[in-house]
Amino acid sequence: MYPAESIWIFIALAFVFAIAPFLTERAFVFTLWSQTGEGQNPLWFYPLRAVLSYAVIGAGCWLLGTQAGNLPYLLAGVLLLGLALYAPGAVVTPSVPVKHVSTRLLEVLIGYFIVGAIGFAIEANYANPSVKNWEFYAIAACLYVVLAYPGFVWRHLMKHPGRHKTA
């Protein structure tokens, strides 16, 4: 795959990660709080579960973003991210019928960091990574929000007769 094709694959991946929290009720991240419908657990359980999940996501992003030139580290990063994104859906989704807006926005924020790590991995695969200042990250965040906007409109601004209410 050449760099010209990989940028379009990256944009498509960013679009999917940005819009997915709004198009599905499946949980992609653990929240710091108890969601409506979850079982009763001690108060400390939810923040601990979320922080551990965020640590696994951070480790996966770090492995993808900095160690992408080494295949075992690349595969370990993909595995960590896959498990960290699969586990909340398997644990939380069966008991929570509708996600809250704050959960969706948290999922978009986590998705931004995951897509950024994948972008750094692609860049490290083709060339030496270039230095990026705060302007790059500000523009990337704005573009990511623009990619998420159609999903936000679909979920929260359009009327869907016959569907259940959103939280």
Tokens of 43: 């108060």
Q: How far apart are CA 84 and CA 62, in angstroms?
A: 14
Q: Which residues does 154 contact at the CB level (< 8 Å), separation at least 6?
A: 22, 23
The model's pLDDT over 14-52, given as tens digits with 9 standing for 90+, comes to: 999 999 999 888 889 999 888 888 878 888 999 999 999
Structure tokens at 26: 């499946």
pTM higher than 0.75 for the full model? Answer: yes
Q: Give residue 63's pLDDT.
A: 86
What crossing angle do the helices spanning 101-126 and 45-66 adopt, rounded to 10°? 20
Q: For residue 34, give the amino acid letter.
A: S
In a 13 Å sphere around the CA of 60, the CA atoms on its Cβ side amount to 22
Show me where the domains of the chain are located: 3-157
